Structures are given as C-alpha cells and as structure tokens.
A and B are shown apart, each in its own frame.
Chain A
Amino acid sequence: MYQYNEQDQNLINARVEQYRDQTRRFLAGEIPDEEFRGLRLMNGLYIQRQAPMLRIAVPYGLMNSVQVRKLADITRKYDKNYAHFTTRTNVQLNWPKLEEVPDILAELAEVQMHAIQTSGNCLRNTTTDHFAGVIPDEIEDPRPWCEMIRQWTTLHPEFAYLPRKFKIAVTGGPEDRAASRVHDIGLHLVKNAAGETGFEVLVGGGLGRTPVIGKVIREFLPQQDLLTYLEAILRVYNLNGRRDNKYKARIKILVNALGIDEFRKLVDAEWEIIRRTGLALTDDYIAKIKGYFEPHPYAADAVDGLSVLENQLEDNADFRAWYERNTREHKVAGYRAVVISLKPHLKPPGDITDVQLDAVADLADTYNFGEIRSTHDQNLVFAHVAAGDLYTLWQSLRDLNLARPNIGTLTDMIVCPGFDFCSLANAHTLGVAEKINEKFDDLDYLYDIGDIKLNMSGCINACAHHHVAHIGILGVDKGGEDFYQITLGGSSREDASLGKIIGKAVPQAEVADTIEKILQVYVENRFEDERFIETVRRIGLDPFKERVYATVN
C-alpha cells in the first residue's frame, strides 16, 4: 500500500496543528459557531445527538495492521471502546470530546491517518472495489489511481467550498462493487479499441433526496488526463452548481438541469484549456504510485493447502457454510479473499470493538500480509489468505464473533446509525435491524433466499443507500411515530437501478413481517437459480404489493 514520504507526513502534521489552533480559537470565542462548523466538518467532526462524532478517513478502504491497532488504542483512550465503519469505507468514533480531537488527530498522524475532508462541502474520500487487485477480471488495479486522486483532492485550495459535498468512486473493471453509478463522479477502468487503458467517466449520480443514476460524460479518457479532466468537471461545478438551496446543490441537479450534452460542452471547453498543463499525469508519477501497489509476495506452495482445505470443508459444515458465503476467488491460485462480517447477530452493523480491532490486526499480520480493507457495505476484507490458513483463520474469527456466515444475505444489511446517534435522522434503525435479525436468524432459510441486498436509512438523506438496495427501508416520522417506507428493485452494481416504493409506510412493529411476505412472494415466483432482484425485475411490483397490503379476511 501507499507509504507516506516526508512531504505527505509534513502535510498531515501541519494539518493537525492548524486544526488544533482552529479549535483553540473557537473555544476562545474567536471563531463564530457557524464558521467553525465549516472548519470542523472539513475535518470530519460533527456535533451529534449525544456527543460529537469524528469520521476518520480510510482512503479507498485500505489499512495496515499498525493503523488498525492505533484505532483500537484511540477507541480505548478517547472513546467507548468501539468504532463504526461507514459506507465511504471510513471509520467513525461516536463519543470523542471536541477538545480532545486535536490529540486524536495527532495520534492518527503517527500512523499516516487523518480526518481530512471526511465531511463538509468538499472533495471526500475516494472509494473503490474492496476486491481491487485480486479479482480475475479486472482491467487494472484501481488503487494507484485512487491514490493519485487522493493527493489531488487533499487540501485542494480551489475546491474547499463547493456548493455541496463531492464523492468519487473508481472501479478496476466492469464489475461494480463501489456503487460508482450513484457517485458524483464514477470512474471505470476500460480499454479502448487500440488496447490502451483509460477511464469511462460517469457524472451526476447520487442518492439522498433525489436519487439519480450517473450519466456517461466520456466513454474513454486517456489515463494521463485523469486529473485535468476531474479538475475541469470540478471547476464547472464550483462555478455553476446551485448555492441557494442545499437540497439542489449536488452536481446531479446541475447535470440534470443543463442536460448531459450541455454539461459536457462546458467541461470540454474548460478541459481544452488545462489539458496540456502540468496537471497532466507523468509516466514517472504513474509508475511511482503503481509501485506501491505491487502484488504481495504470494507463496508458490499455497496451492498445496487446497487438498487440506478440501478435507476441512468436507468435515465441518459450519466451516463450509462460512467458506461458501464469506470467501471469494483470488486471481492467484491457492489464495482466497475473505470477508469479515461486521454484521453479527443483534449488534449494530459496522461496529467493531477495540478487542476485535486488535485481534484483526494480529490476524492480518499472521495471514494477510498485514493488510485490512474496509468495504462500502460495512464489512472488512482480508484479500489474500492462503487456502491452508482458512480453517485456523475461521476459528479465530469465530471466537471473535466476526465469522457470521452471512455475507451477501439478508442480514448483511447496510444500516445507518439512525435516531439513536444521528441528529439528522427521523427514525430509529438499529432496533428494526435487530428485529429483522431475530426473525431471519435461520441460516438455511437465509441461504435458500440467497444473494439479496437490504439497506435501511433513518432519513431521506439516504446514508445507507436504501434506494439502491434490492429491498430498501426508509424510516420516516409520522406524528412522532416511526414508520418505514419500503422500496424494491434497486441495485448499486453495474446494473444500477433505483428501487420503487411499494406502497404506504408500515409501522415499526410490522417491518420484519412485511419483509417476510416479500420473501414469500419471491420464493413462490422464482425460477431455479433466479436471484431476488431478477425475480423482482421479471414479475414487477404488483405481486409484492398485493401480498403486503392484502386486507386480512
């Protein structure tokens, strides 16, 4: 992974001191509340319902064991012994003290971490595929490009006060595990007819109150033009995005208002001016950054573990269930990518304790070249585990309550913290997630239902991406009571689509039963091997509506 040089380190050290001084001046009454709000948000600090919340950046979801141990330590020293992973692959502390945040940042800087631009109306953390670099059908590892984007976005002097927040996602090939089509900019590595590698560029996707699938603005962008093109898009947006209404300020609204062709014209006109400037990437720089993402020293004899693994799979049904649900193919023979479930039974999705963090760091050192990834659906990944190590790794993870074999199933939900923590939320989410977990704890049933994506947001800001879930749940407040609106048919993948509302919102006590009815309709109607989303697309919403809203005789 990328390692800071002296300049990178100097930058984050200076940023810590700058923020420390801003905090000091705020506490001394020298910075008005509203202005400090802008400054602290740009450094990841929210003031929430119960306490401040600090969002720490995990650039493109990649960490090493030293960093994870530091996170564990910070949760012990400054928080309540746990942290929470988010859909931007970042990590949040729910109970830091405003006055102590500069000290937390100083500790993070020791391990090349920070909270720069994890919130606010600026360029946010770039995300990517959590299987980057290990999947067989990838055009190229997207992470070096994410790192180049990270450097360009970090403390960009021109784009710190955008109309609204701005998110970029990059995928290494046609498969989309980064929800790139619902990002302000989605970048897909592609090859053109001449066999050169570049990017397909999408713009104007997004969720929130106005969910929109991104539109293709450029089918092929040569790789050396990446930053000049991004800068052209950002400049057009900064100058033309709406600033009169924060709900109409995202780039998706601008792109829709102008139309993609007119927007493209503006971008191209700007790009023509800056395309050949010093911002054009150099071969040396590209090669240098790629050098940080060379393949790990995989063991040539890892394939020897396959026969042992086969026996272990045969002997232990629990291990086999975990292997089938929670591990994925790796392009190097003898290795698997392992998903560590942060969706245990009856615990908030994405949460992890200090003890688990420390243990995960140790396991990463033993089995995964010291590398840990966070995923956009709030799990962790060990991307390179040798076949012969899987069984012992599974045992360790199981002891840590990190081996629930539910990846890709109904209980692998994305859930925002909701009303319990968030000051924006209208409704609770964690209690409902718990109810769903209680109802659908039977693994055989979950496996029979198969691949399904259920996401739940506690308000229309849609932090949990409910619009692009196969089953989306949105909490709404009706006269002081929590109700839940249900959508079906969304997808955040390469076949991205927005879910449609099936009818009036249901009360909290009925959510789990409603999900059950929806699943019944699926089971009754599915063709063999047909996934939930495919059945919904084939038969439409009516059969689901009829069952859910049927009047009881």
Chain B
Amino acid sequence: MPLLINRAVTEDSWLLVDEADFSAHLSEDIVVPYELFAEHSEALLSAEGKLGVRINGDQDLNLLLQHLDKLALIAVEFPAFTDGRGFSFARILRRSGFAGQLRAEGDVTRDRLEYMERCGFDAFAIPADRYSDDITSAFGEIPVHYQGCADDERPIFRQ
C-alpha cells in the first residue's frame, strides 16, 4: 500500500502492533489500535519508542487530545469515502496543537486528497489498486480557498 508523506512516496517506518505482540515492540516506533491505547495507555505512553494511535469516527477523540504531546502519529480511518468524520478529526487535532504525522487510512483515494490535506493530513495510505504515479497532481487542483485551513487559517477575507 503506497504511502504518501508530504506529497512524496515514502517507505513506512512504523510498525502496526496489536494486543498479542505490542509488549515485545515497546522500544520501536509503533502504531496501536485505539482500544489497545485506551486499555494500556500508561505502558504505551512511557514506552521508549515513538507512539502512534489509529482511530476512527466511532471512537472518542478526547482521549487522544489529552495526550497529544506524547503521540508522534495519529492514523484516522475512513471506513468509506462517504464518511466525512475524519475531516473534522483532523481539523480538531491540528488546532489542538498536534504536530506529529496525521495519516489518512482506509478508503483514501485521489479525489479527497486535497480536502484531506487542507484539513491537516500530511500522510496518506493509498490502496494499491487506486494508486497511480500522477496521483499527487490532485493536490492544488483548486488554487483558491474561501475557508481557512490547517496550513493557513485565514479565510478569503483575511488573506
């Protein structure tokens, strides 16, 4: 699954772990599912390696907001391209000061990349069958923004 970070294809340096194997990888950079984080947050937050959490729209963003300074990656799942909750998650995370990698996962395809980036995502895990080399031309298709966005909070009337 190709991974774009800051519009460039990048090797994924993170390891996705689960309930069974997370304790063996606490010194590495790991991404854990939300439930695992909720249950073992103390151990995970004090681990040696960098920590990432994967969340979806049904889960409680507030838990992550309490620990933003300790999180280096947040992966937001889009179970379907029609599920727009992840856009608001991104906006809230960025305005709350989250400076780590914000990764869009799941049904993440070309025609939503620009909006996702404007909301604060900087990483995109694209399903292999929907990836093409010219996919990055989706960024910047619309050069004018009426609304403020994560990289420029000014709406058109303050630009």
Chain B contacts for A151, CB-based, 8 A = 146, 156
Q: Is B141 interfacial (CB-CB < 8 Å)?
A: yes
- Known interface pairs A11-B142, A14-B142; A160-B115 also in contact (CB < 8 Å): yes
Closest to A237 in B: B88
Contact with A along B86-102 (1 / 0, CB 8 A): 01100110010000000
| Total interface residues in chain B, CB < 8 Å | 35
Q: Is A121 interfacial (CB-CB < 8 Å)?
A: yes
Binds B, one of A31-39, A324-332, A435-443: A31-39
A-B contact pairs, 29 of them (CB 8 A): A7-B156, A8-B144, A11-B144, A14-B142, A17-B141, A18-B141, A30-B132, A151-B156, A152-B146, A156-B146, A156-B147, A157-B87, A157-B115, A157-B145, A157-B149, A158-B84, A158-B147, A161-B83, A161-B84, A235-B91, A235-B92, A238-B88, A239-B85, A243-B82, A278-B153, A279-B147, A281-B157, A282-B157, A288-B157
Chain A contacts for B157, CB-based, 8 A = 281-282, 284-285, 288
Chain A contacts for B116, CB-based, 8 A = 157
CB <8 Å contact, B146 and A155: yes
**What's the nearest-Cβ distance from chain B to residue A23, in Å?**
12
- Known interface pairs A151-B156, A162-B84, A282-B157; A239-B141 also in contact (CB < 8 Å): no
Within 8 Å by CB of B148, from A10, A154, A155, A279, lies A279
Chain B contacts for A282, CB-based, 8 A = 157-158
Q: Is B136 interfacial (CB-CB < 8 Å)?
A: no
Interface residues of A (CB under 8 A from B): 7-8, 10-11, 14-15, 17-18, 21-22, 30-31, 35, 38-39, 121, 151-152, 154-163, 227, 235, 238-239, 243, 273, 277-279, 281-282, 284-285, 288
**What's the nearest-Cβ distance from chain B to residue A225, in Å?**
14
- Known interface pairs A161-B81, A238-B85, A282-B158; A35-B111 also in contact (CB < 8 Å): yes
Within 8 Å by CB of A152, from B112, B132, B154, B155, lies B155
Contact with A along B44-55 (1 / 0, CB 8 A): 000000000000
Q: Give complex CA distance A38, B85 in Å.
A: 16
CB <8 Å contact, A235 and B88: yes
**What's the nearest-Cβ distance from chain B to residue A296, in Å?**
25
**What's the nearest-Cβ distance from chain B to residue A336, in Å?**
36
* Residues of B1-27 whose CB lies within 8 A of A: none
Within 8 Å by CB of B87, from A10, A154, A158, lies A158
Chain B contacts for A161, CB-based, 8 A = 81-84, 87, 112
Chain A contacts for B83, CB-based, 8 A = 161, 243
CB <8 Å contact, B82 and A157: no
Closest to B96 in A: A273
CB <8 Å contact, A155 and B142: yes
CB <8 Å contact, B118 and A157: yes
Contact with A along B117-152 (1 / 0, CB 8 A): 011000000000000100000000111111111000
Closest to A39 in B: B111
Closest to B114 in A: A157
**What's the nearest-Cβ distance from chain A to residue B130, in Å?**
9
Question: How many A-B pairs with Cβ below 8 Å?
Answer: 102
CB <8 Å contact, B84 and A159: yes
Nearest 4 interchain pairs by C-beta? A161-B84, A285-B157, A157-B115, A11-B144
CB <8 Å contact, A157 and B141: no
CB <8 Å contact, A121 and B82: yes
Chain A contacts for B85, CB-based, 8 A = 238-239, 243
**What's the nearest-Cβ distance from chain A to residue B108, in Å?**
12
**What's the nearest-Cβ distance from chain B to residue A91, in Å?**
23
**What's the nearest-Cβ distance from chain A to residue B115, in Å?**
4
Q: Give complex CA distance A285, B146 in Å.
A: 13
CB <8 Å contact, B142 and A239: no
Chain A contacts for B145, CB-based, 8 A = 155, 157
Chain B contacts for A157, CB-based, 8 A = 87, 114-116, 118-119, 145, 147, 149
Chain B contacts for A152, CB-based, 8 A = 146-147, 155
CB <8 Å contact, B111 and A22: yes
CB <8 Å contact, A158 and B142: no
Within 8 Å by CB of A279, from B84, B87, B155, lies B155
CB <8 Å contact, A158 and B156: no
Chain B contacts for A281, CB-based, 8 A = 157
Q: Give complex CA distance A227, B148 in Å.
A: 12
Apart from A155-B146, A157-B114, A161-B112, what are 17 other A-B pairs with CB-CB below 8 Å?
A8-B144, A11-B142, A15-B142, A38-B82, A154-B146, A156-B147, A157-B116, A158-B84, A158-B87, A158-B88, A160-B84, A161-B84, A161-B87, A243-B83, A278-B148, A279-B148, A284-B157
Chain B contacts for A235, CB-based, 8 A = 88, 91-92
**What's the nearest-Cβ distance from chain A to residue B114, in Å?**
7
Q: Give complex CA distance A158, B156 in Å.
A: 16
Closest to A25 in B: B110
Q: Is B57 interfacial (CB-CB < 8 Å)?
A: yes
